[in-house]
Structure 1
């Protein structure tokens, strides 16, 4: 009888431990696989394509070809063969509205290969730390966006560049 109680206790504890979940966790995604660049944000609402619809996501505002895919391999290597890297200029107009331009002619096939370290919901590669949130990787580059005065002679503010990659 004592063995039966011990057995039932072990079964109950095993069931209890494996059935617990944290309701605050999103579905966990492995970083291994392909991640497509889906947002290129400067935290500025802009209408660069003059369609009367401003967006934070500059990919929605330009006709540049975006083929950027990050490929994370199980062996700890991340690669990209087509990094999205147009030339962008942003300025504050006299009416205090942000404006800018993005030159797609500087596009090319800039690639890289790097090792990465995944720790919980963070991924470190290419000298920066990114967050893994659900099925997205968020890469933030502090003060990467420079906003000039109207004649482009002086930087008057900076903004973070936020890249969002979505798992394919």
Structure 2
């Protein structure tokens, strides 16, 4: 009888501890995330100061205040989405010299949409695949950015757009 009581007590303690675990441990994407990197994997220099960066946010003249909020019900919202118009051209007769131009949006763009929690660390939203790792969320939009030839007469390739967010 004493062993049965101990087993019952341990089982109850286990279930109480398991039910007390934080929801964020089960779904680490839930919460607020700020945009810290926007890249297509091409080093560029918008300011023509001979300092190149892979992170467009290091060079942009646009306001960057994007924050995503993921809730437990599968909804993600942003009230200040970073959405400049970016054009990238490859300099003729080169394989790694790019011209990057931006036009900043005026005003504020926001959205609200559903996301799918694929498993503990992976999500899908807006045709992007996302992964949470060490308080960073990386979203990859496959073939989202077109690279043009120097005179804009043809698209010569497409690059993945990678957005990296840090949990607030």
Is TM (by shorter chain) over 0.5?
yes
Deviates more, 1:125-134 or 1:39-48: 125-134
- Within 2, Cα distance between the matches of 1:101 and 1:80? 26
- Within 1, Cα distance between the matches of 2:126 and 2:38? 18
In the TM superposition, residue 129 of structure 1 has moved relative to its aligned partner by 2.5
Tell me if the contact between 2:83 and 2:104 (Cα under 8 Å) persists in the aligned partners.
no
**Are 1:159 and 2:159 matched, yes or no?**
yes
Q: Which runs of 5+ in 1 are unaligned?
A: 12-26
In the TM superposition, residue 10 of structure 1 has moved relative to its aligned partner by 10
Match of 2:72 in 1: 74
What do the CA deviations read for 1:98-130 (whole angstroms, capped 9, x no partner)?
Answer: 323332333432211112222221112233321
Count of aligned residue pairs for this structure pair: 156
Match of 1:87 in 2: 85
Q: Which runs of 5+ in 2 are unaligned?
A: 10-24
With the length of structure 1 as denominator, give the TM-score of the two structures: 0.78
Q: CA 1:67/1:151 → structure 2, altered by over 3 Å: closer, same or farther?
A: same
In the TM superposition, residue 29 of structure 1 has moved relative to its aligned partner by 7.0
Tell me if the contact between 1:144 and 1:161 (Cα under 8 Å) persists in the aligned partners.
yes
Higher share in strand: 1
- Within 2, Cα distance between the matches of 1:135 and 1:9? 38
In the TM superposition, residue 46 of structure 1 has moved relative to its aligned partner by 1.0
Q: CA 1:40/1:6 → structure 2, altered by over 3 Å: closer, same or farther?
A: same
Q: What's the RMSD between the two structures over aligned residues? A: 2.8
In the TM superposition, residue 157 of structure 1 has moved relative to its aligned partner by 1.5
